[in-house]
């Protein structure tokens, strides 16, 4: 196994082999909601490419999964054109100008419970609408307005409450009830609505229409921006109009790894996904993996323990904090390997601590391949279910609570139990470190597009997904396989029911690992392709939909 980071090492990328297209005229789409999968096909049939379809599907997910992602949130869109280099559109939320390192602490320096989680103070400046506008104008074949049509229609006509909606709304019911605009839309007289209830979002439809009509200015300037700022400030937020007007998407080079002959493009900073994958693959280089064996699971956990530790200690928004170049150096990984025993778990506390001065089914993913072989892998978020629980009156926009992805107090765990350092402390204009890891990978004529929500567990899920593809699994098997996870702290190997056999559990416990059954986690959306054809699959843990269809151009 060999992982090599090309971007940070500064090695010039060799000319990309032309990706194998999906069967001619055939497109594949996997998203977390049927409405979004249909939105993608609608736009493809109108003559759009995979990038237009990604805009349509992202916007539709934001309407039909208001607990997962949306116009009030952000994400990372990994675009891999059939010809040319892959690029990551960073539409991650940014801290407002009035944010400070201690904004979620009281005078004694203690975290104020819920402050980084609930209400507009928890919200970063949204990046999704700017990303949609950017992708449509720079990469799309259709207008932004055309690609937003299905989302606007769904917002006006409504979507049906599902069992999963009910779980998410129940989980955040108490917070949603605090502010009327959200409670009136997402609850029924303060209660979780019955299955099948139509959720209509006319104000969101108007906001989306303003974006469709005016491009990014329809959201970041003018009446929508004014309503967002006024609503947020009245409810204790600190946004101002310049925060919105100044928001900009950033095009970044993805992290590109080479592992066992596969070229893997993954999200780069401010997502930690690509870096953690790269360090993990580097550490595992040199061990001969045996699929599913206790020994391989042990070594994977040891590699993840070290890579997550480095993530938490060193990584943050690269526009604020320089990532240490050695993290992806094979020599560094070789040094870490010398500390790994095959017969014994390393307690996380035996590793250098993260210097204090130095998850699931919310958040969403889409994977798309069009008939020309353009590919998109995008993970989208408002962070917690229903984000901050706050809807700015008159806008229909659910504000994210992505500020909790910062280290609100370095050294203290966040909602996902991540104990992070100064590199990810809050600063004005800074983007919180993410775990979202959209991936596109290829080897010869074989390819895969995949990603998942799941908070801090995203990177492990994607790692296991990549290995499943490398072992020859097709999309259906990739999304289904049971998962395990370790993230340095808490020092425990979590596993989904069925992920570890009794014999494997015993072998891991003998090595000193603490185990905990949990889950299910994640909602992976994957497409695989190769000589055996193209397959798209949506995680059976979720309510998504995947399809491979011939697309007749108009
Ligand atoms: O960016 C991140 O890492 C988190 N905001 C993602 C949150 C998430 O996946 C929640 N889903 N279960």
**pLDDT at 241 > cutoff 90:** yes
Given a contact cutoff of 8 angstroms between Cβ atoms, the answer to whether 482 and 495 are in contact is yes
* CA distances, 158 to each of 60, 196, 198, 203, 213 (Å): 11, 11, 5, 12, 21
Domain residue ranges in the chain: 41-76+89-251+381-424
Q: Sheet containing 375-381: give its strands across.
A: 250-252, 87-91, 74-80, 375-381, 364-369, 26-31, 545-550
Question: Would you say 279 and 310 are in contact if contact means Cβ atoms under 8 Å apart?
Answer: yes
User: What proportion of the chain, given as a percentage, has pLDDT over 90?
Assistant: 88
Distance CA 533, CA 85 (A): 24
**Per-residue pLDDT reduced to its tens digit, 166-201:** 999 999 999 999 999 999 999 999 999 999 999 999
Exactly one of 37, 280, 363, 379 is catalytic; which is it?
363
Query: E strands, 45-86, where?
Result: 74-80
Look up tokens 């806008």; give the residue.
Answer: 395
Residue among 455, 518, 520, 541 whose CB has most ligand 1 atoms within 8 A, to mutate: 455
CA distance 114 to 389: 11
How far is it, in rounded angstroms, from Cα 527 to Cα 534? 7
Chain segment 372-405, per-residue pLDDT in tens: 999 999 999 999 999 999 999 999 999 999 999 9
Q: How far, in Å, from the CA of 220 to the mean position of ligand 1?
A: 24
Measured from the Cα of 359, ligand 1's closest atom is 12
* Ligand 1 site-directed mutation target among 436, 452, 496, 518, most atoms within 8 Å of CB: 436
SS3 of 109-171: CCECCCCCCCCHHHCCECCHHHHHHHHHHHHCCCCHHHHHHHHHHHHHHCEECCHHHHHHHHH
Residues in contact with ligand 1 (CB, 6 Å cut-off): 359-360, 362-363, 381, 383, 402, 405, 434-436, 453-455, 458
Q: Residue 362 in contact with residue 385, Cβ under 8 Å?
A: yes
Which of 458, 1, 115, 62 lies closest to 273, judged by CA? Answer: 458
Q: What is the mean pLDDT of residues 208-236?
A: 98
Distance set, CA 237 to CA 123, 129, 133, 191, 219 (Å): 8, 20, 26, 26, 18
Tell me the per-residue pLDDT of 271-299, one tens digit each, with 9 for 90 and over: 999 999 999 999 999 798 888 899 999 99
DSSP 216-282: THHHHSHHHHHHHHHHHHHTT----HHHHHH---EEEPPEEEEETTEEEEE--TTB-HHHHHHHHHH
Is the separation of the CB atoms in 381 and 72 below 8 Å?
A: no
What pLDDT score was predicted for residue 360? 53
Q: What percent of the chain has pLDDT over 70?
A: 94
* Neighbour tally for 90: CB within 10 Å: 27
At 140, is the pLDDT very low, low, confident or very high (cuts 50, 70, 90)? very high
CA 345 to chain centre: 29
Atom of ligand 1 nearest to the CA of 456: 3
Q: What is the CA radius of gyration of the chain?
A: 22
Give the model's confidence band at 14: pLDDT under 50 very low, under 70 low, under 90 confident, else very high: very low
Residues with Cβ within 8 Å of 116's Cβ and at least 6 positions away in sequence, in order, are 104, 122, 401, 403, 404, 406, 408, 414
Q: Looking at the predicted structure, is the pLDDT value of residue 104 above 80?
A: yes
Of 95, 176, 87, 206, residue with least CA distance to 135: 87
Three-state DSSP at 332 gives: helix
Residue 358 has pLDDT above 50, yes or no: no
Q: What is the pLDDT of residues 424-450, one digit of tens each?
A: 999 999 999 999 999 999 999 999 999
**Band of the pLDDT at 359, cuts 50, 70, 90?**
very low
Cα–Cα distance measured from residue 122 to residue 124, given in angstroms and rounded to the nearest whole number: 7
Interior CA angle at 525 toward 424 and 396, to 5°? 65
Confidence band, pLDDT 50/70/90 cuts, at residue 21: very low
| pLDDT for the residue numbered 528 | 98
Atom number of ligand 1 nearest to Cα 404: 5
CA nearest neighbour of 217 among 129, 141, 139: 129
The separation between the first and the last C-alpha atoms of the chain, rounded to the nearest angstrom, is 45
Distance 25 CA to ligand 1 centre (A): 34
Q: What is the pLDDT of residue 353?
A: 76
Give me the chain's average pLDDT, please.
Answer: 93
Angstrom CA distances, 174 to 190, 216, 381, stand at 9, 33, 21
Query: Is 363 assigned a catalytic role?
Result: yes
Query: Which string of b and e fits 261-289 if b means at least 16 CB within 10 Å?
Result: ebbbbbbbbbbbbbbbbbbbbbbbbebeb
Least confident of 96-105, 347-356, 505-514: 347-356
Contacts of 316 (CB under 8 A, 6+ apart): 269, 270, 423, 424, 425, 430, 433
| Residue 530 CA, ligand 1 centroid: distance in Å | 31
């Amino acid at each position: 196994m060999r992982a090599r980071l090309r971007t940070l090492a500064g090695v010039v990328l060799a000319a990309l082999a032309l990706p194998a297209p999906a069967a001619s005229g055939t497109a594949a789409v996997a998203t977390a909601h049927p409405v979004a999968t249909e939105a993608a096909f609608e736009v493809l049939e109108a003559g759009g490419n995979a990038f237009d379809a990604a805009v349509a599907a992202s916007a539709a997910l934001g309407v039909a999964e208001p607990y997962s992602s949306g116009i009030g949130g952000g994400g990372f869109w990994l675009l891999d054109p059939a010809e040319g280099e892959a690029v990551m559109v960073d539409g991650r939320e940014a801290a407002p100008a009035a944010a400070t390192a201690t904004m979620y602490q009281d005078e004694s320096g203690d975290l104020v419970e819920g402050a980084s989680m609930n209400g507009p103070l928890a919200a970063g400046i949204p990046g999704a609408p700017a990303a949609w506008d950017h992708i449509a104008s720079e990469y799309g074949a259709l207008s932004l307005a055309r690609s937003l049509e299905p989302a606007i229609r769904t917002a006006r006509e409504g979507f049906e409450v599902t069992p999963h909606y009910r779980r998410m709304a129940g989980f955040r019911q108490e917070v949603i009830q605090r502010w009327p605009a959200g409670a009136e839309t997402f609850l029924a007289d303060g209660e979780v609505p019955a299955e099948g209830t139509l959720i209509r979002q006319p104000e969101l439809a108007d906001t989306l229409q303003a974006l469709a009509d005016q491009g990014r200015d329809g959201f970041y300037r003018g009446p929508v921006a004014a309503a967002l700022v006024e609503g947020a400030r009245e409810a204790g937020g600190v946004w101002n109009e310049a925060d919105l007007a100044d928001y900009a998407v950033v095009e970044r080079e993805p992290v590109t790894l080479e592992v066992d002959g596969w070229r893997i493009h993954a999200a780069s900073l401010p997502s930690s996904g690509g870096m953690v994958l790269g360090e993990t693959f580097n550490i595992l280089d040199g061990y001969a993996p045996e699929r599913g064996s206790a020994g391989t699971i042990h070594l994977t956990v040891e590699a993840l323990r070290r890579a997550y530790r480095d993530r938490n200690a060193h990584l943050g928004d690269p526009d604020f904090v320089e990532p240490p170049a050695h993290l992806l150096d094979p020599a560094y990984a070789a040094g870490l390997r010398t500390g790994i025993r095959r017969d014994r778990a390393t307690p996380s506390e035996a590793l250098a601590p993260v210097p204090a001065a130095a998850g699931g089914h919310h958040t969403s993913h889409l994977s798309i391949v069009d008939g020309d072989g353009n590919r998109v892998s995008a993970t989208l978020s408002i962070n917690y279910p229903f984000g901050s629980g706050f809807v700015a009156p008159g806008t229909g926009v659910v504000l994210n609570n992505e500020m909790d992805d910062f280290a609100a107090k370095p050294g203290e765990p966040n909602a996902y139990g991540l104990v992070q350092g100064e590199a990810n402390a809050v600063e004005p204009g800074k983007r919180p470190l993410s775990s979202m890891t959209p991936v596109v990978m290829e080897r010869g004529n074989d390819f895969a597009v995949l990603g998942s929500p799941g908070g801090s567990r995203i990177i492990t899920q994607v790692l296991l997904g990549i290995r499943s593809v490398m072992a020859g699994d097709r999309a259906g098997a990739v999304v289904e396989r049971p998962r395990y996870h370790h993230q340095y702290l808490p020092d425990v190997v979590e596993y989904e029911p069925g992920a570890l056999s009794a014999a494997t559990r015993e072998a891991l416990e003998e090595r000193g690992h603490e185990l905990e059954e949990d889950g299910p986690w994640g909602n992976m959306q994957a497409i695989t392709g190769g000589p055996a054809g193209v397959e798209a699959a949506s995680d059976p843990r979720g309510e998504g939909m995947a399809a491979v269809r011939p697309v007749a151009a108009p």
